[in-house]
Amino acid sequence: MDAESNVTYITLGGHVEVHKYGFLYFVIMFTAYLLIICSNSTIVCIIVIHKSLHEPMYMFIAALLINSVLYSTAIYPKLLVDFLSEKQRISYSACLFQWFIYYTLAGSEFFLLSVMAYDRYVSICKPLQYPTIMTKNTVKVLLIAAWIVPGCQMSVPMPQYASTKLCSFTLKGIICNSTVHKLHCVRSQLLNIYGLIVLVNAVLLPLLFIVFTYIKIFEITYRSSREVRSKAAQTCLPHLLVLISFSCLVMYDVVSVRLDADFPKTIQFILSLQMILYHPLFNPIIYGLKMKEIYKHLSGLFCKTV
């Protein structure tokens, strides 16, 4: 608690030798942040500019990349300031806001990935019905719901978190994630139950739905021609790679909090960096290189630039 301003501050304890390598970390992370914004924004602009890419599949990809930019913007500015500061701390209210944005956008990621899986399912398994099912209005509703539904889910426990008494003021980690629970004097059983419900709704159900749709896709393509299998692989493989990558990172976040896993500080630091560095760069690389139409326009753009 800051006596002068009456603001509760949390010390971030996950930085490894920041005082010694702070400027180096700042340069690396600032460069990474610029790469994340540029790479994701470039592909989004390509999808928006070229009318041939105004299809549901590419609209969902654009939304996923915008999600990566928003996700990074919620984390990087504060992180960059921390690397140049002697003390890494954040007000409790700002920490809760970062927590809210962090998990809202993580939920949006799974929502969008499940919608993309459904889009591929309809396209491959019900091609004649695709235009009537995936209409422009349907796509708009799904895109809006991708951010509103997770946001509503994460806003429910916010008043309880804001009013909970704190007994610890040191957070293990470089960002405000679910380790915020460990700051509370008494952990609310109601919040724990609600957290499990959100975990099921936002993560497990989308994963099961995606698995179901891809089983159906594989059944159809297995009985189809080589050309159909090749086309399905081109559009489905990037989606599966992104899904597996993000699921593994979310699994670490869940395990570290729910099982009270006490990872060494260095490992916590590295795995946290994976969440904020690796994944936001992984999405544009995968979709830029693996999606044939996007790669074609990217190649044309770079050829003109050079």
Residue 1 forms part of a structural domain:
no
- Measured torsion, CA atoms of residues 129, 133, 139, 144, in degrees rounded to the nearest 10: -150
Three-state SS sequence of the chain? CECCCCECEEEECCCCCHHHHHHHHHHHHHHHHHHHHHHHHHHHHHHHHCHHHCCHHHHHHHHHHHHHHHHHHCCHHHHHHHHCCCCCEEEHHHHHHHHHHHHHHHHHHHHHHHHHHHHHHHHHHCCCCHHHHCCHHHHHHHHHHHHHHHHHHHHCCHHHHHHCCECCCEECCCCCCHHHHHHECCCCHHHHHHHHHHHHHHHHHHHHHHHHHHHHHHHHHHCCCHHHHHHHHHHHHHHHHHHHHHHHHHHHHHHHHHCCCCCCHHHHHHHHHHHHHHHHHHHHHHHHHHCHHHHHHHHHHHHHHC
d(Cα 134, Cα 129) in Å, to the nearest integer?
9
Considering its fold, how many domains does the chain have in total?
A: 1
Q: Amino acid letter at 260?
A: D
Residue 4 forms part of a structural domain:
no
Residue 124 forms part of a structural domain:
yes
Residue 3 forms part of a structural domain:
no
Q: Which pLDDT does position 89 carry in this prediction?
A: 81
Residue 145 forms part of a structural domain:
yes
Burial of 280 (0-12, 13-18, 19+ CB in 10 A): buried
Residue 31 forms part of a structural domain:
yes
Q: Amino acid letter at 95?
A: C
Range of the domain at 163: 9-305
Residue 2 forms part of a structural domain:
no
Q: Which pLDDT does position 44 carry in this prediction?
A: 93
Residue 93 forms part of a structural domain:
yes
Q: What is the pTM of this model?
A: 0.87
Q: Which pLDDT does position 252 carry in this prediction?
A: 73
Indicate which CATH number applies to the domain containing 194.
Answer: 1.20.1070.10
pLDDT tens track of the chain, all 306 residues?
554 445 677 677 655 455 566 788 888 889 999 999 999 999 999 999 988 889 999 999 999 999 999 989 988 888 888 888 777 788 888 888 988 998 999 899 999 999 999 998 998 888 889 999 999 999 999 999 999 999 999 999 888 888 888 887 777 777 787 778 778 887 778 888 888 898 889 889 999 999 899 888 888 887 777 777 777 777 788 888 888 888 877 877 777 665 555 566 666 666 666 777 777 888 888 888 777 788 888 887 777 655
Q: Which pLDDT does position 34 carry in this prediction?
A: 94
Residue 73 sits at the vertex; the CA angle it makes with 101 and 81, to the nearest 5 degrees, is 110
Long-range pairs of 157-163 with CB within 8 A, sequence gap ≥ 24: 157/191, 157/194, 157/195, 158/96, 158/100, 160/188, 160/190, 160/191, 161/96, 161/99, 161/191, 162/93, 162/96
Rg (alpha carbons) of the chain, rounded to whole number: 21
